[in-house]
C-alpha cells in the first residue's frame, strides 16, 4: 500500500500525518511552490485526499484529480465537500462521527458556563491584580435550571441535552422533524419559537443549504437581551453581522462561539466585547484523546477502502 498516493490538503495533525506516512505515499499540497503544477504532475497517481472540515474538497481540486477514489475527512462536518458530485462520480467520502461527540458537547456546556458566569473576565480580573483593589462586581447569571433550546438534535445535540439535564435545565429543541424517542423534550417546529422560549440557544445542526443563517435577526430578537447564543456547529449557521450588532446594541445578552463565518477572522466588535462574549478557535474536537481517535478513523477508512473492505464511517 506504500505506493498509493494520498494527498493532504493542509497540515492537519502531526499524529495523523505520521500514521498516513507509515502506510501510504503522502503528498503535501501546502509544501508545493506551485499548487496547480504540483497537482498536474501527480494527478495520475493521487487516489485519495485527506482534508478537514474547514477545507474539505473544493470543486477545483476534485476536477484536478481524475483518479480520485476517496476523500477521508478529519471532521464530522461535510459542508465543504460536494457530496452529490462525489456520489455522481463514484468517489467515496468518509468522516469522523461519534468520536468527537462528547468533546463538542462538553465545549457547548463549557462555553455556556463561561458566558453566564463570566469565567474569562473573572480569571483576567484576578491575573491583572484587580481583585486586590476590590471585589468582582460584574453580575453573573445562574445556569442551573435554565431553559436550553437546541437547534439540531443529532448525536451532538442529544449529548448536549443529556449534559444540560444534569444541571436541572429544561430542554427543548428544533429539528427538521420531531424525534419520538425524545418526547420528554419540547419540540418547536419554528426556530423563532424555540428562541423565544429559551434562555440559552445552542446551534448543533449540520450546515446545509437549509440551515445557512438559520440564526437570523428574527431568532436573535426572540432570544432577547437576556438570552445567550452558543455556536459549536458552523459559523455560517449564524448571520454574523446581525449577531454582532445585536450584541453591541444589547439586544442579545451574550454569546459563546467556537465557529465563525470566515475563520480565522473574528469580527473586531466581538473582540472588544470581552465580558458578554467568550471565543474559542474552532477547538470543539481539539482534545488530544479525540484528535487521535479521529485520525485513527481517517486512516482506518483509507486502509479499508484500499483493501476492498467496507468503509468504517462512510458518508457517500
List residues near another protein by CB under 8 A.
102-103, 105-107, 109-111, 113-114, 116-117, 119-120, 122-127, 131-132, 134-137, 139-145, 162-168, 263-266, 271, 274, 278-281, 283, 286-290
Q: How far is the CB of 302 from another protein (least distance, A)?
A: 25
- Give the residue from 263, 270, 197 showing the smallest Cα distance to 236: 263
Q: How far is the CB of 228 from another protein (least distance, A)?
A: 13
CB 71, CB 97: distance < 8 Å: no
CB 70, CB 302: distance < 8 Å: yes
- Within 8 A by CB and 6+ apart from 257, the residues are 111, 229, 230, 231, 270, 277, 278, 279, 280
Locate 251 and state its grid cell. Answer: 439586544
Annotated active-site residue 174? The verdict is: no
Cα 148 from Cα 128, distance rounded (Å): 33
- Give the residue from 240, 219, 257 showing the smallest Cα distance to 112: 257
Q: Which is nearer to another protein, 189 or 281 (CB)?
A: 281
Catalytic entry in 234, 240, 242, 291: 234
Catalytic entry in 31, 88, 263, 289: 263
CA neighbours closer than 13 Å in the CB half-sphere of residue 26:
21
Q: Which residue has the cell 435554565?
A: 146
Catalytic entry in 42, 47, 282, 305: 282
Q: How far is the CB of 68 from another protein (least distance, A)?
A: 28
Q: Which is nearer to another protein, 165 or 221 (CB)?
A: 165
- Within 8 A by CB and 6+ apart from 219, the residues are 191, 192, 195, 201
Cα 91 from Cα 85, distance rounded (Å): 8
Annotated active-site residue 234? The verdict is: yes
Q: Which is nearer to another protein, 88 or 263 (CB)?
A: 263
Which burial class, exposed, middle or buried, applies to 218 when counting CB atoms under 10 A from its CB (0-12, 13-18, 19+)?
middle
Annotated active-site residue 310? The verdict is: no
Q: How far is the CB of 234 from another protein (least distance, A)?
A: 17
Q: Which is nearer to another protein, 171 or 207 (CB)?
A: 171
Q: How far is the CB of 291 from another protein (least distance, A)?
A: 9
Helices 288-306 and 101-116, packing angle to 10 deg = 150
Which burial class, exposed, middle or buried, applies to 5 when counting CB atoms under 10 A from its CB (0-12, 13-18, 19+)?
middle
Q: How far is the CB of 134 from another protein (least distance, A)?
A: 8
Q: Among all residues, which ones are annotated catalytic?
A: 234, 263, 282
Amino acid at each position: 500500500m506504500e505506493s498509493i498516493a494520498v494527498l493532504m490538503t493542509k497540515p492537519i495533525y502531526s499524529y495523523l500525518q505520521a500514521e498516513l506516512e507509515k502506510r501510504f505515499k503522502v503528498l503535501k499540497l501546502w509544501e508545493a511552490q506551485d499548487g496547480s503544477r504540483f497537482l498536474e504532475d501527480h494527478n495520475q497517481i493521487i487516489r485519495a485526499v485527506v482534508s478537514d472540515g474547514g477545507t474539505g474538497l473544493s470543486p477545483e481540486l476534485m476536477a484536478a484529480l481524475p483518479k480520485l477514489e476517496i476523500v477521508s475527512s478529519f471532521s464530522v462536518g461535510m459542508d465543504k465537500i460536494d457530496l452529490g458530485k462525489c456520489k455522481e462520480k463514484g468517489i467515496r467520502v468518509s468522516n469522523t462521527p461519534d468520536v468527537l461527540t462528547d468533546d463538542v458537547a462538553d465545549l457547548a456546556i463549557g462555553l455556556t458556563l463561561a458566558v453566564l458566569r463570566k469565567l474569562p473576565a473573572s480569571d483576567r480580573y484576578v491575573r491583572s491584580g484587580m481583585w486586590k483593589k476590590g471585589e468582582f462586581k460584574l453580575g453573573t447569571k445562574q445556569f442551573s435550571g435554565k431553559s436550553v433550546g437546541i437547534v439540531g438534535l443529532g448525536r451532538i445535540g442529544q449529548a448536549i441535552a443529556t449534559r444540560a439535564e444534569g444541571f436541572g435545565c429544561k430542554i427543548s429543541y428544533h429539528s427538521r422533524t420531531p424525534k419520538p424517542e425524545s418526547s420528554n423534550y419540547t419540540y418547536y417546529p419554528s426556530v423563532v419559537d424555540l428562541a423565544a422560549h429559551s434562555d440559552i440557544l445552542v446551534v448543533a445542526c449540520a450546515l446545509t443549504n437549509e440551515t445557512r443563517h438559520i440564526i437570523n435577526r428574527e431568532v436573535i430578537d426572540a432570544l432577547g437581551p437576556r438570552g445567550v447564543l452558543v455556536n459549536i456547529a458552523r459559523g455560517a449557521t449564524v448571520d454574523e453581522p446581525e449577531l454582532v450588532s445585536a450584541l453591541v446594541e444589547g439586544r442579545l445578552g451574550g454569546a459563546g462561539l467556537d465557529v465563525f463565518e470566515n475563520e480565522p477572522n473574528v469580527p473586531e466588535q466581538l473582540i472588544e466585547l470581552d465580558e458578554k462574549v467568550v471565543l474559542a478557535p474552532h477547538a470543539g474536537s481539539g482534545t488530544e484523546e479525540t484528535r487521535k481517535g479521529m485520525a485513527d478513523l481517517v486512516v482506518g477508512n483509507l486502509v479499508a477502502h484500499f483493501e476492498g473492505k467496507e468503509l468504517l464511517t462512510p458518508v457517500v
